């Protein structure tokens, strides 16, 4: 009996240990230069003191406290951990396949538990890429995203901090076109299909009850032809805001964006086709835009992996990307706040976290200044997520999410591919530096 108690105490102690991902020690970082994400400029050399997973102080010189670990990043550009505001960690699609076949297969064959485990493997690649927070917007089966989020939070799994949506609130059919009506339930395993304003509010309460940090809706559910009514979206926004949760809308057409903006959502995802008057409405209402854009390299890679589904030559790329680039430039001109989000759910034959970063290169290709690109993935995204001054910034009282890259992102945005150091909440996950003193 006593042996058993001792065994139990051992189990409890080790599980407590597993649930303590925060480094309780003190670390002093010498940074060569530090990105001030609020003002989108690099500051000169700074020391950053990290204590119990939080940034304690930032100054030109900090004397190392007794027993502090010292990390020398003096040869690097130091950034706050990057934020990807639009991920689908529990879903991966082959460029050669179609959405319904692969989406339905994820629901009925892969299943939520295995999807969460696959998501855990993908989550690690985001952390390795310097992305320390993601907002995961559905396609996670029945709340598989909550399981992954909680496992990362309790330290069982390495990954970025997750802000998770649960199933997106959608018109009939979700995003699975071509399902026979007898099998509509398959879509309802992946989406929360909404039928009227009252049901829409109920959907919000369900998601929040099961752990949603944000509500994802589909103003239109492309490639299906449905649309939520403005009344349904208003009911969603009212209920979510009453529960202190934000709402973000998938909206690809001008009409879908206009209707969601009218209903008062907090963010718009995609907005591929959108008029200046609609962008102006978003600006007036303080709605963030998350342009899930592709860069040239991603288009060509998609083409080469699509087994003939989409054949693109390098000469055709500018024509294909002209529309999204033009609307990003118009959004910047109108003064919208852009938060970076990759929507990267395609199997590009590389780590998912690396593939996701190409979204940032797309903004640069469209003409966004490099440091504004970095700001979109730090300061702007932190505000979209309601975590301003906690993430996306190197400042006292923020989480110690710190990334070092080799080179100057202001001069070359592709330096973001040269991540040499990643700390999340005080714990070091990537450490490819030449000189570290303990």
| Residues contributing to the site for Zn ion (CB under 5 A) | 343
Residue pair 45/72 in contact by the 8 Å Cβ criterion: no
- Looking at the Cβ atoms of 31 and 107, the one nearer to Zn ion is 107
**Cα–Cα distance list, 206 to 97, 190, 192, 242, 424 (Å):** 32, 14, 10, 14, 31
Q: Which is nearer to Zn ion, 84 or 343 (CB)?
A: 343
Pairing of strands 69-80, 82-87: unpaired
Which letter does DSSP use for residue 22 in this model?
S
User: Minimum distance between the CB of residue 175 and Zn ion, rounded to whole angstroms?
Assistant: 9
Of residues 191 and 421, the one with the C-beta less far from Zn ion: 191
3-state DSSP call for residue 292?
Answer: coil
How far is CA 312 from each of CA 96, 273, 343, rounded to the nearest angstrom? 14, 21, 21
Q: Report in angstroms how near the CB of residue 351 gets to Zn ion at its nearest.
A: 19
- What minimum distance in Å lies between the beta carbon of 334 and Zn ion? 24
Q: Which lies closer to Zn ion via its Cβ, residue 295 or residue 343? A: 343
The least CB distance from residue 273 to Zn ion, in Å, is 17
**Tokens 């998912």 belong to residue:** 352
- Closest to Zn ion by CB, 343 vs 354, is 343
- Residue 343 Cβ, how far from Zn ion at the closest point, in Å? 4
Angle at 314 between CA 312 and CA 315, to 5 degrees: 100
* Pick 145 or 343: Cβ nearer Zn ion: 343
Supply 61's token pair. Answer: 């010189």
Residue 341 Cβ vs Zn ion, minimum distance, rounded to whole Å: 8
Closest separation between CB of residue 291 and Zn ion, Å?
A: 12
Residue 349's Cβ-count burial label (10 Å; 0-12, 13-18, 19+) is: exposed
- Least spacing, CB of residue 125 vs Zn ion, in Å: 18
Using the structure block, give the residue that is written with the tokens 């940032």.
Answer: 360
Could you tell me the smallest distance in angstroms from the CB atom of residue 88 to Zn ion?
Answer: 6
Shortest gap between Cβ of 171 and Zn ion (angstroms)? 16
Residue number, nearest CB to Zn ion? 343
99's enclosing H/E stretch is: helix 99-105
The DSSP code sequence of 106-164 is: IIIII-HHHHHHHHHHHHHHHHHTTEEEEEE-S-STTTHHHHHHHHHHTTSS---EEEE
Question: For residue 325, which of 287, 299, 305, 356 has the smallest C-alpha distance?
Answer: 299
The nearer residue to Zn ion, 344 or 425, going by C-beta atoms, is 344
Name the DSSP class of 170: E
CA distance 184 to 162: 29
CA distance 264 to 249: 10
How long a stretch of residues is the chain? 438
Segments in 264-316 forming alpha helices (H): 276-285, 296-305
Nearest to Zn ion of 342, 380 (CB atom) = 342
**Of 23 and 343, which has the nearer Cβ to Zn ion?**
343
DSSP letter string over 353-413? HHHHHHHHHHHHHTT--HHHHHHHTTHHHHHHTT-TTTSSS-STTSB--EEEESS-TTT-G
Least Cβ distance, residue 99 to Zn ion (angstroms): 11
Residue 346 forms beta bridges with which residues? 93
Q: What are phi and psi of 399, to 5 degrees?
A: -60, 145
């Amino acid at each position: 009996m006593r042996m058993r108690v001792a065994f139990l105490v051992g189990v409890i102690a080790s599980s407590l240990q597993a649930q303590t991902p925060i480094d309780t020690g003190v670390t002093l970082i010498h940074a060569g230069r530090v990105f001030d994400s609020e003002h989108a400029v690099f500051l000169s050399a700074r020391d950053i003191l990290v204590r119990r997973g939080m940034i304690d102080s930032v100054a030109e010189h900090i004397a190392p406290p007794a027993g502090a670990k010292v990390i020398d990043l003096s040869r690097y550009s130091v950034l706050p951990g990057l934020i990807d505001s639009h991920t689908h960690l529990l879903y991966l699609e082959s460029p050669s396949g179609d959405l319904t076949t692969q989406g339905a297969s994820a629901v009925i064959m892969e299943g939520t538990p295995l999807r969460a485990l696959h998501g855990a493997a993908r989550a690690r690649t985001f952390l390795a890429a310097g992305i320390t927070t993601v907002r995961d917007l559905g396609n996670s089966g029945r709340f598989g995203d909550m399981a992954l989020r909680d496992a990362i939070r309790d330290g069982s799994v390495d990954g970025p901090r997750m802000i998770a949506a649960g199933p997106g609130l959608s018109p009939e059919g979700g995003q699975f076109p071509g399902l026979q009506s007898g099998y509509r339930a398959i879509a309802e395993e992946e989406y929360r299909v909404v039928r009227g304003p009252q049901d829409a509010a109920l959907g919000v309460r369900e998601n929040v009850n099961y752990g949603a940090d944000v509500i994802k809706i589909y103003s239109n559910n492309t490639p299906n032809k449905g649309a939520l009514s403005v009344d349904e979206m208003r009911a969603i926004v009212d209920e979510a805001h009453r529960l202190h949760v934000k709402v973000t809308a998938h909206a690809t057409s001008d009409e879908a964006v206009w209707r969601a903006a009218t209903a008062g959502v907090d963010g718009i995802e995609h907005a591929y086709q959108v008029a200046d008057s609609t962008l102006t409405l978003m600006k007036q209402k303080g709605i963030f835009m998350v342009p899930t854009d592709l860069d040239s390299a991603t288009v060509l890679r998609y083409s080469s992996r699509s087994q003939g589904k989409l054949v693109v030559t390098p000469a055709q790329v500018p024509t294909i990307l002209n529309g999204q680039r033009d609307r990003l430039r118009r959004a910047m001109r109108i003064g919208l706040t852009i938060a970076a989000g990759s929507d990267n759910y395609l199997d590009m034959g590389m780590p998912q976290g690396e593939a996701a970063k190409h979204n940032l290169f797309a903004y640069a290709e469209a003409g966004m200044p490099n440091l504004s690109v970095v700001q979109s993935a730090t300061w702007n995204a932190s505000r979209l997520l309601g975590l301003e001054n906690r993430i996306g910034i190197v400042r006292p009282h923020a989480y110690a999410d710190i990334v070092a890259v080799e080179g100057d992102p202001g001069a070359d945005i592709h330096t973001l591919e040269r991540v040499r150091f990643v700390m999340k909440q005080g714990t070091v996950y990537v450490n490819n530096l030449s000189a570290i003193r303990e």
